[in-house]
Each structure stands twice: as C-alpha cells, then as structure tokens.
Amino acid sequence: MTDALTILPPGRPLRGRVSPPGSKSITNRALLLAGLAVGESRLTGALKSDDTRHMANALRAMGVAVEEPEDTGFVVRGSGRLRAPAAALFLGNAGTAVRFLTAAAALAGGEVVLDGDAHMRKRPIAPLVEALRRLGVVAEAPTGCPPVTVRGRGGFEGREVSVDAGLSSQYVSALLMLAACGAHPVRVALRGDAIGARGYIDLTVAAMRRFGGVVEAEGGSAWVVQPGGYRAAELHVEPDASAATYLWAAEALTGGAIDLGVAAGDFTQPDAAAYPLIRDFRHLPPVIDGSQMQDAVPTLAAVAAFGAAPVRFTGIGNLRVKECDRVHAMATELSRLSPGLAVEDGDDLVVTPAPREGFRAARIETYGDHRIAMSMALAGLMVPGVTILDPGCVAKTYPDYWRDLGRLGVEMRAEG
C-alpha cells in the first residue's frame, strides 16, 4: 500500500452502488462459535480483513479446521474442544479476537498466551481476566493489558460471575460465549451500571442462539446461560454498519445517492443508529450521546465539522482505549483543517464548524487506526489537499475502502 493518499474533492454528488464488507463484529463472533461447535458450519457474507484473519488463524492454531472457499465465506469444522497452541497467539490489534479468545482459552488443555501489537498492549483486559479468575480459570495479565496467559484445563467450574464492563461490552460477550461450554448453568452479571455499547451484547446473544446456545436475560444487567455447548450452523453475515457510516456520510456530504444494497433500518448492529444523524448532518443536535454507537463517533465528528452549529459528543470516554485515543486523535486531526475545529473537554469531544474559507490543506496522522483514516478521508471530499497518511491501516476492517471510494468517482493521488 502507498505511504499516503491525497483525496481530491469530487465537486459533485457521489452516485453509485457499493456493497459494504461483512460485519466484523458478527464475523468474529460466528467464527469463534463455529470453532466451539461440533460439526461443520458455513459462514457467508463474512468479512475478510486483518481482524478476522487473526481470529481464523488463532482457531487453526487451536485445532479448528477453518477453510476459506470464497472471498466472503468460511467453512469451519469444530469438535467442541480446543487444544493449546504450539506458540503464542499473535492477534495484532484485534480487540474482539483477543477478548473473546482469552475467555475461550479456558477450554484448551494447556497454556495459551495471547498477545498483540504495540497498540493492543495498551488496551485494557484486566476486568475480563479478573472475572475469569472468579470462574476458577487460571489467567494473568501482569500489566492489565495483553499479553495474557491462560492455563486452560478443558473447562471451568464457576457458576456465577460479575464483570465491570465500563470499558468494554466485549468482556461480557466473551464470558457469555464461554459460559455455554460449562458443566452447569452460569449467571453473568454486570458489576455497576456502566457498560460499553450494550447493543453488541444483543449481537452476541443472537449469534449464540444461532449456534444452539441457550441464554436468557435477567432484566438489563444479568444473563443466565445453560450448559450444552454449540452445534454447527449456517449463517449469513449482514454488512458492517460501522463501514456503512462512511458511505452514508459520503452521500450526505456531497448530496449524492449511494445504494448499499441494504436499507439502514435492516441493520441489527448499534452503529446503524447513526444513519438519521448523518443524513441531517447540517442540523445535528447540540449534544450527541455516543456511548451506544461508539465506532460511528469519528464519522459523526467528521460530518459535524460541516454542519451549522457546534456539537458536543458525550459518553465517549471508552474511545480513549480503542485502537488509539480516538477522542484526542479526532480533536487533533480535525483541528489541522482549521484551528480549534474540534477540542477535547474532559472526555467529551466538541466540534465547532468553521466557515468553508477557514479550512486548509492538511496531512492527517492516522495513528494506525482504521477509523481515523476512513472518517478523516470524508473531510477530503469537501476540503482540497487532505492527505491521509498510512492509508493501508483500513485493512483492519475495510480493505477495499479506497477502491470503493474510487468506484464512486473519488479521485486520489498516491505518494510512496
């Protein structure tokens, strides 16, 4: 991939049809559940990206047969058991893979070390490790972040666990998917009221049920999972709603018409809630709670820069522990376009639109974060001279992002 891409504003409405990639969230859940199931599962419409590659490779290292017969398909053959891998599992900066597999490693017969890149080694995992210990799993993460060591014993004995999910709902999802493989019913409860995007737990529960898991909610803060494991299934993965936000934004910013092949209302992922806000970006509400659509916040911040009035994004403290500190990154990079365009206020992000003549060309740092690259590229549709550094980082979840923009008629100039 090139070192940098300069976006050339199209100066016209973008029109055409683009199919977003499959959902990363659903693909990685389905891969793990298929790996824990007995029999052959088939996934269609799935995402092929860095994150899902790390999950698939880790499952292969743990004794699961994973084949890729087509560009958007996986065939997974599981025995209902996992084995200890011969070497540490390297999972890049794939948060879902690290967290889900940390819990699943309890089912392996031996030591499992889960590690990642420099960014992953800064992402918290201590709440999940502590919860696993309360289930009787031997696990440790000395720094509170990966690497994590789990000494699997083929199962676990605990029947009830609570977890602090204030930093990530993925901790809850990891425990829920593990719980179905226990010998007894397991109750998973929240510790405190704070939780990351709750809608992703709903995705987890739906995927578990698709693979034969039995799980029921107790109010809004606990779930009871029955034993019995999982059975093989066929699953078609819906398109990625987070990826769709960039295309919805490209359409709205340019006054175009982009057909994604799926209506916004047909998505089950939380980030689809951003659609009506993006569509009416010139008149956004003065305060937007981003807690339940966290991955859409960078997109919303980018379009807010071209709105009619200031917008404060709240409930986004968790964005500081994503692939990078996204609150700081968006404030810094938007302000390269116009000083003070975006500022941090505690954990909030405040975007104050500037007159169009106040914008200037800028070279955008992406911090190795796919969402910073893709959201800031949207500004390049409106402002001449926006250059995205390390554009290849989009391979984490949307490898064809630049190609798809090109198909819509966006011209880009490559460097390096």
Residues annotated as catalytic are 295
Tokens of 379: 């500004």
Residues of each annotated binding site for 3-phosphoshikimate = 24-25, 29, 168-170, 295, 318, 322
Residues of each annotated binding site for phosphoenolpyruvate = 24, 95, 123, 170, 326, 371, 396
d(CA 376, CA 13) in angstroms, rounded, equals 18
- Looking up tokens 């025995």 gives 79
Residues of each annotated binding site = 24-25, 29, 95, 123, 168-170, 295, 318, 322, 326, 371, 396
338: CB partners within 8 A, 6+ apart: 305, 354, 358, 359, 360
171-200 b/e (C-beta count within 10 Å ≥ 16 → b): bbbbbbbbbbbbeeebebbbbeeebbbebb
SS (H, E, C) 172-234: HHHHHHHHCCCCCCEEEEEEEEEECCCHHHHHHHHHHHHCCCCEEEECCCEEEECCCCEECCE
Are residues 107 and 139 in contact, defined by beta-carbon separation less than 8 angstroms? no
CA distances from residue 38 to 59, 69, 154 in whole angstroms, order as listed: 14, 20, 15
129-166 b/e (C-beta count within 10 Å ≥ 16 → b): bbbbeebebebebeeebbbbbbbbeebbebeebbbbbb
Instruction: Give SS3 for 403.
Output: helix
Q: Where is 276: in which H helix or E strand?
A: helix 275-279
Tokens of 54: 């790390």
For residue 377, with 0-12 CB atoms within 10 Å meaning exposed, 13-18 middle and 19 or more buried, which class applies?
buried
